[in-house]
Structure 1
Amino acid sequence: MTPAADHVPLRAQLDTLTTEAFRSDLADIDRLPTLEIAKIMNGEDATVPTAVASRLPQIAAAIDATAARMSRGGRLIYAGAGTAGRLGVLDASECPPTFNTAPTEVVGLIAGGQPAMVTSVEGAEDSKQLATEDLDALVLTEADTVVGISASGRTPYAIGAVEHARARGALTIGLSCNADSALGAAAEHGIEIVVGPELLTGSTRLKAGTAQKLVLNMLSTITMIRLGKTYGNLMVDVRSSNEKLRARSRRIVSLATGASDEEIEAALTATDGQVKNAILTILGGVDGPTASALLTDSHGHLRAALDTARKTG
């Protein structure tokens, strides 16, 4: 069989995918003025939030299930190849500074490992076995959540990750951009954001990538809200690892309490710079050690700790 013939089945598969569809109305886009191309691209991008909105019930259900597992000590693990994998790694890497999670609490796996973040690792996305090995290295548990990410919904690495995780009793989510995808079928929670054909045929870093980023933002952010990592819309678990974040910490305490600069500095000093604890000392009228104990008892939920402080104060 010739190499060309070997690729016929794959071509036939791609022909069925919305994300790979050819837009004949854009066949002459390279002849248009730059501003006109920008307007077309912007119009295409504007359709993505609507596609995400149509799947909000599925997204919310997946978030609630994820938060329930993580409240038992589980981890949120993303697994994808190429752009999808990079988006997972990006979302995971932003959780420690934003929500003070441990680096091992939200994890991004990309087919081919770290080198694949900046260059293509040939064949990595085609291996279910590689996904199994990557998850086994993390010693997967039933408390974990594994999110397979694939624009096409047919990437073996993402499907393999979900299949292996589900067999191990972990919660599984499949995020794709085609309806009736193999990835969605493999996961307990299938989230299929159908954004339609891309501006450039098959370039799924565009609308599909934007859709995936929006959903991953929701998965991590709302899960952290459910876990008590925020107070209202304030990031009270922010990690003060540099001067910008230290300034943000002081501002968050100010917004939450309305206290004077002197009170805020004293509270942050008494709590080793922990924003949530500092807010509790001011609003709850307790000292640093008591604030820490109350937050431990409330599993990190500031509102619950405040209620207890006010009732016993």
Structure 2
Amino acid sequence: MTIRTALAATALASCLLAAPALAQSVNLYTTREPALLNPVIEAFTKDTGIKVNAVFLKDGLQQRIQAEGANSPADVMLVVDVGEIQAAADAGVTQPVKSALVDKIVPAQLRGAGDNWITLTKRARIVIVSKDRVKQDAITYEDLADPKWKGKFCIRSGQHPYNTALFSAYLGHHGAEKTEAYLKALKANTARKPGGGDRDVARDILSGQCDIAIINTYYIGLMSKATNEQKGWYEAIKPLKTTFANGGTHVNVSAAAIAKHAPNKENAVKLIEYMLGEKAQHIYADGNFEFPVNADVKEAAAVKLLGAVTPDKLPLADIAKNRKAASELVDKAGFDN
């Protein structure tokens, strides 16, 4: 080795030793709102030292990862709907989440086939009624078809994903023929054309246009904290314990998956496991009045406000796969007409 070469090698080694170690990181693609996710991301980085590079997308998450192919930097996908995460799994852009902690905390029906995605939080779709005009405290989804509710029932569009998921669950329990009859019976009970949003049905209960409606639980929580007219909507309603006749409560979920070509797979697992822990479940679930998937979290805001829910045993992956058939039945029944 010449003196010049030896000096060059020494200089290079000195530079490498002087350079700071590269910080660990994990790349997150998500369709969640930044305000809901940033607090738990910040807590994860503080507790683990792993930086989260978050890409917030309104839509097209799966398509972006597909377009990026094997060079995609995505490690974790986090979305707000079971249909969306199942579509990603069906498209082949996820891989199994292999974790003993996931196996312990997340019930089988709240995971994808082969653990290709897992639930982080739950939101239930339940029945609300007029606090003044309806006295019962519990109901089944099947009971909504009772003619005693004729002209008193309000609901947003049957083709909205919240409702196609519910009707898909009904399809899983009862089959196509009974589901079509159910949809026609619900339609016959409506006080107005299906439409608007979930909070609008609470408004319409207050006005007296309807006595009974379907809503996602987190909207109840958000209205309870409102400082505008929505506080009055909240005060006019009463949530009912809502289940299938031979099952539990229908839930949708926020869910996570590890990307197929994740370059930081180990950190991806760490992020998902962290989000299942009690501290993170409080931060993440309470931010939007969602129910923790971790059963050890007893004091979540949604549980305090509405009580605990027992998710239906029908696998969410099956509900996601039945959505197209449920949507077709909604049209066949003329539900939104």
Verify same fold: TM over 0.5.
Answer: no
Structure holding more strand per residue: 2
Structure holding more helix per residue: 1
Work out which structure has the larger RCO, using CA pairs closer than 8 Å and 6 or more positions apart in sequence: 2
TM-score, length basis structure 1: 0.29
TM-score, length basis structure 2: 0.28
